[in-house]
């Protein structure tokens, strides 16, 4: 069986032939065997540290264009209209190195009952739901983080 190999993301918009739906944990890997949404087998051989985001386009070595989709996954959602409480919640989640998706009044993170209890302890209501997850990439995402 022939396997399609992807090495690059496209920077220019192009029509895609199919899609690739993956959860966050898999979109965060640079080497991965996958099955496209049309059933074809493929291999991701991305630059080390690459992260695939919703609507990214991948170009295979033979010219196939595939659009990346974020799979729905179990996340905990916290809604908060109080800026100080929102900041405290983000601080405590970050202190535990939890990946978080943050909007003006909402925080989402991979469902974890310990983190949920922590949020409830801050006085926040936690809702568990299925949704695509697109966490913050971090301060060093575009610079490359080197030690030493």
Is 144 part of any domain?
A: no
In a shared domain, residues 29 and 85: no
Structural tokens at position 99: 């990946």
Residues 25 and 45 reside in one and the same domain:
yes
Tokens encoding 1: 């069986």
Q: Are residues 60 and 96 in the same domain?
A: no
**More confident site: 148 or 133:** 133
Q: How large is the average pLDDT for residues 29-39? A: 93
Distances (CA, A) of 39 to 3, 36, 42, 44: 11, 5, 9, 15
Q: Which one has a higher pLDDT value, 3 or 130?
A: 130
CATH number of the domain that 79 lies in?
Answer: 3.30.70.790
For residue range 61-90, what is the model confidence (pLDDT) as tens digits? Answer: 888 899 999 999 999 999 999 999 999 999
Same domain, 76 and 92: yes
Number of folded domains that form the chain: 2
Instruction: Tell me whether residue 122 is in a domain.
Output: yes
Which pair of structure tokens corresponds to residue 81? 């209209």
Predicted confidence (pLDDT) at residue 142 exceeds the cutoff of 60: no
Q: What pLDDT was estimated at residue 26?
A: 95
Residue 143 has pLDDT above 80, yes or no: no
Q: What is the pLDDT of residue 1?
A: 56
Chain segment 47-61, per-residue pLDDT in tens: 888 899 999 999 888
CA distances from 66 to 44, 46, 104, 116 (A): 12, 14, 31, 36
Say whether both 87 and 121 belong to one domain.
yes
Q: What is the DSSP letter of 134?
A: -
């Amino acid at each position: 069986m022939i396997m399609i190999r992807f090495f690059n993301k496209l920077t220019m918009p192009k029509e895609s032939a199919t899609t690739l739906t993956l959860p966050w944990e898999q979109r965060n890997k640079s080497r991965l065997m996958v099955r496209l949404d049309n059933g074809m087998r493929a291999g991701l051989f991305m630059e080390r540290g690459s992260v695939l985001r919703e609507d990214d386009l991948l170009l295979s070595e033979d010219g196939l264009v595939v659009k990346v989709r974020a799979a729905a996954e179990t996340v905990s959602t916290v809604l908060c209209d109080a800026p100080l409480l929102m900041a405290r919640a983000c601080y405590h989640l970050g202190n535990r190195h939890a990946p978080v998706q943050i909007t003006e009044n909402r925080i989402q993170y991979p469902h974890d009952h310990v983190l949920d209890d922590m949020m409830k302890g801050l006085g926040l209501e936690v809702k568990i739901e299925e949704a695509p997850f697109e966490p913050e990439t971090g301060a060093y995402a575009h610079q490359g983080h080197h030690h030493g």
